[in-house]
Structure formats: C-alpha cells, structure tokens
Amino acid sequence: MTQPILRVDGLDAFYGQLQALRGVSFEVAPGEALAVIGANGAGKTTLFQVVAGLHRAARGEVLLDGEPIRGLPAHRVVRRGVALVPEGRRIFPSLSVEENLRVAEDRHRAGPRRWTRERVYALFPDLRAAAGRRGTQLSGGQQQMLAIGRALLCEPRLLLFDEVSLGLSPLVVRELYRALESIRGEGVTLVFVEQDVTRSLAFSDHVVCLQRGTVRLAGRSQSRSLDEVRRAYFG
C-alpha cells in the first residue's frame, strides 16, 4: 500500500470554547484529489488552517509522508511542501502581478525548481497580460489565478485550495479546473473545498463531507450518489 502523503487523525480544534473540529480523520494518497465539502460553518477552513500551520489544534495528528507536522509554524509547513490557496485569495493588493509572484519565488529559491513565473504565466495567460497591474486592478478570476500561481511558486507537493469557485463566473471556473488538472498531472496532490457538489464529485478521487466539525461521509467520489452526499451535507 502506498503511504498517504497526508493523514489527519482524530483532529479536534477550538476557537475559545467553540469546538470547530471533532475527531476529524482522513487520508490522501500521493497524486490524488480530495474534495472537502460541507455547509458554511462545517469546519472546512479551520481544517485547512490546521494543516497549513495557521491554527493550532487541541488534539489529533497531522502527518505529511508519515512525519508529524501538527503544531509547526506555517513557514516550516510550507518548506515541507504544503501550500495553501486561502479563501479570499489574500494577494498583496498594492503589488503588481509580477511583484506578487516574485515575492513567492524569491522566498523559495533553494533547490531545483519545477515552477517558475514563466510556467505560471503559461498556465494562466491572463496573468501574463496583466503582469503590470496591481492586485486591486484585477478581476476576481485573475486574483484567484494569481493566488494559485503564488502557491505553486512555493513548490508544493500538497496544494490546499479553499473555495475554488466562490463568486466566479462559470467560464472562469472551467478555466481554473483545467489548470488544476494540469497541476495534478505534475504529481501535485490536491485537497480542495468546493461548494458545487456535482463538480466536486466529478473532479475528485475521494470526498469528505463535514457537518458541524464532524466527518459525516467519506469515501471514493464515484461510489457516492448525489442524494447520499446531499443528505450528509445538509443533515
């Protein structure tokens, strides 16, 4: 059996007295795509923040290639090969597209590179055309492309993507998923949040459905009916 690139086991997380995650467990094999779905407040963003080192869990394990990373600061998690495309994109609004990408590239110069600014521009031609524009001058789709490109320049083996299509047009969403397919073809493992349940099942190998911080459904995407997922999603 292939060792999972990511294993989450019995994860509990809190905000003060409010428990956001309750015993969350799942694993992802290298090169796979895992969809994490659930209603607002289900714990999806908290889960990603714990894995990325941005929120401290109270209990449980997060293993990357069998090595514990729970509790490591975010910059060390990135160096281990985990990159996060956060909800809201969080690009530097006063910097240009080129400058946003240079910041990420300059921070991760050590060792051989698979991803460069030129490869990001090839993946997203719209960014090349907008290279001199500031973040505030970009459309929502261009900002999302820039956030993905910035994450790729961190040389991830595991890419966490919180809210792929939120607020974007269908045309832009199709372009983003074509890019994700290309990224996955490079051997990058994808764990992503997507509100479109049908698209989640179609793109992913496995699905995890969270409800109030608890895993209500988990398994192979193609073996799950849409009605079954909806019942887990809405309760």
End-to-end alpha carbon distance in the chain: 34
Pairwise CA distance, residues 44 & 212, whole Å = 10
From residue 70, give the alpha-carbon distance in Å to each of 200, 207, 228: 27, 22, 32
Boundaries of every domain in the chain = 1-81+192-235
Pairwise CA distance, residues 173 & 166, whole Å = 9
Say whether 87 sits in a helix, a strand or coil.
Answer: coil
Confidence (pTM): 0.88
pLDDT in tens, 90-129: 888 889 988 889 888 776 656 667 888 899 999 999 999 9
Q: Which CATH number fits domain 1-81+192-235: 1.10.12.10, 3.40.50.300, 3.40.50.11290, 3.30.1240.10?
A: 3.40.50.300
From first to last of its 235 residues, what are the pLDDT tens digits of the chain? 578 999 999 999 999 999 999 999 999 999 999 999 888 888 999 999 999 999 999 999 999 999 999 989 998 999 899 999 988 778 888 899 888 898 887 766 566 678 888 999 999 999 999 888 888 888 988 999 999 999 999 899 999 999 888 788 899 899 999 999 999 999 999 999 988 888 888 899 999 989 899 998 888 887 666 677 777 776 6
pLDDT at position 123, please? 93
Residues comprising the chain, all counted: 235
Cα–chain-centroid distance for residue 84? 5
Pairwise CA distance, residues 221 & 216, whole Å = 14
Pairwise CA distance, residues 33 & 193, whole Å = 11
Pairwise CA distance, residues 160 & 139, whole Å = 22
Beta partners for residue 102, in sequence order: none
Helix extents (H) in the chain = 44-51, 74-79, 97-107, 117-123, 125-129, 140-152, 170-185, 197-203, 226-234
Pairwise CA distance, residues 191 & 57, whole Å = 19
